[in-house]
């Protein structure tokens, strides 16, 4: 069933982006409007599960969005940038993604202060700009929701360009208090002490990136906190401590990209270590290769991850009285939603750069849960689902 009523926002995005193109031409050099839009249709060939909000009906709204950016050059070396994103998905948050001042004291140095996207992985700060990458949906085993998508703080960039090699170094520090939406659930999150460092090396067609990031997250979960306090009152300290809604998350990332006029190769590996009961320890990677037949390119990707959650402790005795049994049951229940899992995906896709600023894409992804039942698919009928489905997507990607 085609969801006509949900298609309306998608079509208005297209009209709006056309209007923006004409507006752009009218602005002067100091003030620049630009933007990006994507309209994505997806279909999952599975009735017992959903993935990224897709099910067995064609949907246009899960990832369709419009982003607008405004850059104003205040002085020669000082500019202000704002970026707002409007999304059509039910459980996504729209709003200001960027709002920062850029100070460029020299060619090599750049400083940004304000609200920014956290540059954890290669595409973390341009997830919304589908035009910038070949896939329709970035490999989810690496790019699936992470804890620190945006922050408010200070970022510095340094660049060195030598005869044969170029080097880049970025470092940032900050935090944010914000509501995030994960699996349809609104999480009121306070992130502090967030910092990271990113190093890049460019050599001929190669680009290498390595980074480390850490931050302290405090997720406001009143029910879990209350339950943890209750366990504490009963003297089950280990159990109480094991339900952690705050803790430190650490991200490690390395990647190698190669590209020339004929083909491209990309691989990215990451590891997340978090001591929160809601967030698993994760290892994930993707390997992708493609061929260019300008203006068309084709690609294949494989991606895999494993997720290990904090395990419940066996501290509460059962079979003594009904109250303790209920407590033990309640405790086990809090862990039931977070089971260890491992997932695997194979993707084949094609991108056609129809115009300079407009690309059309088509992509098919075979999604498999190798282990566990809460990996890729969110809601489903467990008894009738083999943990495997194919997602078909087509997309139009604009920048203007």
> Does 95 engage in binding with other proteins (CB under 8 A)?
no
Q: By CB under 8 A, tell whether 129 contacts other proteins.
A: yes
Binding mask 334-353 for other proteins (x = CB under 8 A): -----------------x-x
The contact pattern for other proteins, residues 23-52, with x = CB under 8 A and - = no contact, is -----------x-x----------------
28: its two tokens: 């002067």
Non-local CB neighbours of 271 within 8 Å, separated by 6+ positions: 251, 252, 253, 281, 282, 283, 284
Q: Residues near 43 by Cβ (< 8 Å), separated by ≥ 6?
A: 54, 56, 57, 58, 59, 391, 392, 393
* Binding mask of the shown chain, residues 281 to 310, with x at each position contacting other proteins by CB under 8 A: -----------x-xx-x-------------
Query: For other proteins, which residue of 77, 81, 94, 339 counts as binding (CB under 8 A)?
Result: 81
The yes or no reply on residue 132 touching other proteins (CB under 8 A) is yes
The DSSP call for residue 70 is: E
Rounded CA separation 216/124 (Å): 19
Out of 61, 69, 211, 277, name the contact with other proteins by CB under 8 A: 69
Which C-beta is closer to other proteins: that of 83 or that of 189? 83
Reported residue count of the chain is 400
Q: How far is the CB of 282 from other proteins (least distance, A)?
A: 24
76 touches other proteins by CB under 8 A: no
Q: Which backbone phi and psi does 383 adopt, to 5 degrees? A: -70, -25
Question: In this chain, which stretch among 64-72, 230-238, 267-275, 276-284 interacts with other proteins, using CB under 8 A?
Answer: 64-72
| In the complex, minimum distance from the CB of residue 178 to other proteins, in angstroms, rounded to a whole number | 20
Query: Which listed residue (59, 63, 157, 253) binds other proteins by CB under 8 A?
Result: 157
Q: State yes or no: residue 207 binds other proteins (CB under 8 A).
A: no
In order of 122, 192, 301, 346, the CA distances from 252 in angstroms are 12, 18, 21, 24
Query: What's the half-sphere exposure (Cβ side, CA atoms, 13 Å) at 107?
Result: 2
By CB under 8 A, residue 359 contacts other proteins: yes
Q: Are 236 and 317 in contact (CB under 8 A)?
A: no
- Smallest distance from other proteins to CB 185, Å: 28
337 class by beta-carbon count within 10 Å (0-12 exposed, 13-18 middle, 19+ buried): exposed
CA distance 68 to 82: 8
Q: Which of 77, 92, 166, 388: binder of other proteins (CB under 8 A)? A: 166
Please spell the DSSP secondary structure of 182-206, one letter per residue. ETTEEEEEEEEEEEEEEEEEEETTE
- Residue ranges that bind other proteins, judged by CB under 8 A: 34, 36, 67, 69, 71, 81, 83, 98, 100, 102, 107-108, 110, 112, 117, 119, 125-126, 128-129, 131-133, 157, 159, 161-166, 202-205, 259-261, 264, 292, 294-295, 297, 351, 353, 356-357, 359, 399
């Amino acid at each position: 069933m085609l969801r006509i009523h949900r298609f309306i926002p998608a079509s208005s995005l297209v009209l709006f982006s056309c209007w923006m193109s004409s507006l752009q031409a009218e602005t002067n050099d100091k003030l620049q409007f630009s933007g990006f839009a994507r309209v994505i249709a997806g279909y999952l060939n599975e009735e017992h599960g959903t993935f990224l909000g897709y099910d067995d009906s064609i949907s246009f709204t899960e990832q369709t969005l419009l982003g607008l950016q405004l850059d104003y050059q205040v002085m020669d070396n000082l500019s202000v940038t704002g970026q707002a994103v409007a999304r059509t998905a039910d459980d996504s948050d729209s709003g200001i993604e960027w709002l920062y001042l850029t100070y460029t004291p020299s060619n090599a140095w750049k400083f940004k202060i304000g609200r920014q996207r956290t540059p954890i992985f290669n595409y973390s700060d341009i997830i919304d700009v589908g035009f910038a990458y070949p896939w329709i949906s970035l490999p989810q085993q690496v790019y699936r929701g992470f804890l620190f998508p945006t922050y408010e703080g200070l970022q510095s960039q340094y660049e060195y360009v030598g005869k044969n090699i170029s080097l880049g170094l970025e470092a940032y520090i900050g935090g944010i208090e914000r509501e995030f939406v994960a699996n349809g659930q609104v999480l009121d999150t306070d992130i502090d002490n967030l910092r990271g460092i990113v190093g890049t090396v460019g050599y001929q067609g190669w680009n290498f990136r390595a980074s480390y990031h850490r931050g302290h997250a405090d997720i406001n979960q009143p029910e879990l906190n209350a339950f943890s306090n209750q366990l504490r009152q009963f003297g089950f300290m280990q159990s109480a401590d094991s339900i952690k809604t705050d803790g430190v998350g650490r991200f490690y990332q390395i990647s190698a990209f190669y590209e020339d006029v004929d083909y491209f190769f990309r691989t990215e590996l990451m590891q997340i270590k978090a001591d929160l009961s809601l967030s698993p320890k994760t290892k994930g990677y993707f390997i992708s290769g493609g061929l260019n037949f300008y203006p068309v390119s084709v690609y294949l990707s494989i991606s895999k991850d494993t997720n290990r959650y904090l395990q419940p402790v066996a501290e509460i005795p059962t079979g003594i009285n009904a109250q303790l049994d209920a407590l033990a049951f309640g405790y086990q229940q809090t862990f039931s939603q977070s089971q260890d899992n491992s997932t695997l995906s194979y993707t084949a896709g094609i991108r056609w750069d129809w115009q300079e600023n407009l690309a059309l894409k088509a992509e098919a992804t075979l999604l498999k849960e190798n282990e566990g039942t809460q990996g890729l698919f969110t809601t489903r009928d467990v008894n009738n689902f083999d943990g495997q489905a194919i997602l078909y997507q087509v997309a139009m990607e604009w920048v203007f």
